[in-house]
Amino acid sequence: METTSRFFSGFTPNDLWFLAEAAGRTLWISILSIGFGTVLGVFFGWALSVTKTAGTLTIAPILDIFRSVPLIIQLVLFFNFAPMIGLRLSPFDAGVIILTIYTAALVSNVARAGIEAVGMPMRRSARSLGMSYWQDMRYVVWPIGLRAVFPSWIGVALGVMKDSALVSVLGYVELLKASQILITRTQDTLLILAIAGAFYFALSYPISLYASKLEERWSQ
């Protein structure tokens, strides 16, 4: 009896709304970063596939750094570095910038794999039909490559969505930070963690399910 009364005294419907709003912010920062990061990453992936050695020696190692250093370290470093060069950034700005570069680093690999998935013979035959380079890219490489790597891209996007929880470290009140604030106030630790987890799960699981269905269908 005591536990249940404590359960409801702390946590109110308003708090649920507070968490839902925070989940919205998680979604918003994810969409921005994944959007910008994908555009940038596809560009890098294309650049890597056309420049070959030059790209492998220049862009590739830089992108590699963002895949080899923990995201939390990247966030802390950038957030502390920005003021040194006179940038006044909010936690949100810093979060979007780092998540975008992080996404781009991951997507560049996926994009390169997609372009390389389209074999040279197929591309030669496209060119032999009189297609220009960009027509070949648009009508041959894009649809075939996209199909080959779309499930991996969804994997990257979902990963970034989950990793956006780390922006809480800079003080941005996204879903996980909001749940921490509530826990401190209400002490209903398990209930609030369960709700936060449920929000994440609801954002991620349907998409991952869709991706694996798609992969299964396409692999046949």
**Binding-site ranges for another protein (CB under 8 A):** 65, 68-74, 76-77, 80-81, 84-86, 158, 162-166, 168-169, 176, 180, 183, 187, 189-190, 193, 196-197, 200-201, 204-205, 208
The length of the chain in residues reads: 220
185 contact partners, CB below 8 Å, separation of at least 6: 10
Distance CA 133, CA 135 (A): 6
Nearer Cβ to another protein (7/139): 7
Which residue, 7 or 133, has its beta carbon nearer to another protein?
Answer: 7
**Is the distance from CB of 100 to CB of 33 less than 8 angstroms?**
yes
User: Is the Cβ of residue 144 or residue 193 nearer to another protein in the bound state?
Assistant: 193
CA dist 152 and 159 (Å) reads 10
Q: In whole angstroms, how close is the CB of 51 to another protein at the nearest point?
A: 23
Angle between helices 13-51 and 175-186 (to 10 degrees): 150
Minimum CB distance to another protein, residue 1 (Å):
18
CB 9, min distance to another protein, A: 16
Q: Pick the closer one to another protein by CB: 39 or 148.
A: 148
Q: How far is the CB of 39 from another protein (least distance, A)?
A: 24
Please state, in angstroms and rounded to a whole number, the distance separating the CA atoms of residues 145 and 116.
8
Rounded Cα–Cα distance for residues 35 and 164 (Å): 14
User: At closest approach, how far in Å is the CB of 175 from another protein?
Assistant: 9
Minimum Å gap between C-beta 133 and another protein is: 33
- When the beta carbons of 69 and 122 are compared against another protein, the nearer one is 69
CB 44 within 8 A of CB 56: no
* Greatest extent of the chain over all pairs of C-alpha atoms, in Å: 79
Q: Cβ neighbours of residue 189 under 8 Å, at least 6 residues apart?
A: 183
CB-nearer residue toward another protein: 32 or 193: 193
